Amino acid sequence: MTPMRTLRVVVADDESDVCLMLRMQLGAQPDLEVVGAAADGSEALELCRQLQPDAVVMDLLMPVMNGFQAIEAMQRELPGVAVVAYTGVAGEFVRHEMARMNVPLVLKSGDVTPLADALRRAAPA
């Protein structure tokens, strides 16, 4: 039997309670390890440069560098890091932009299952 691969994940959200919840809930998944957390897109980009995670959970509305800008920079600089957008706001513009960037979009909720599943699908094999 092949051992389960552990995906290394960075969480980026400017709400500290959301970061804490995601660290706890994603970290409780047997195949996910949260290796870092960032409060804005710029921090997320720098953490990903340093840690080379498999994937990043990216909030879209953050200060300094928003998630849209951070995703574009990550796709240019770190194409091996999968990105999953995680937001409470997902109107037509957001859905269009995520589709254009080929980034899975998950709406914020108390259930981490859709986010964990999206990370597993998005991360490189």
Instruction: Note the pLDDT tens digit of each residue in 43-87.
Output: 999 999 999 999 999 999 999 999 999 999 999 999 999 999 999
According to DSSP, residue 57 is labeled E
pTM of the model: 0.93
Residue keyed to tokens 């959200």:
13
Side chain identity at 114, as an amino acid letter?
P
Tell me the pLDDT tens digit for each residue of 66-76: 999 999 999 99
In terms of Cβ atoms closer than 10 Å to its own Cβ (0-12, 13-18, 19+), residue 61 is: middle
d(CA 18, CA 57): 11
The helix/strand/coil state of 108 is coil
d(CA 61, CA 70): 11
Tell me the pLDDT tens digit for each residue of 17-34: 999 999 999 999 999 999
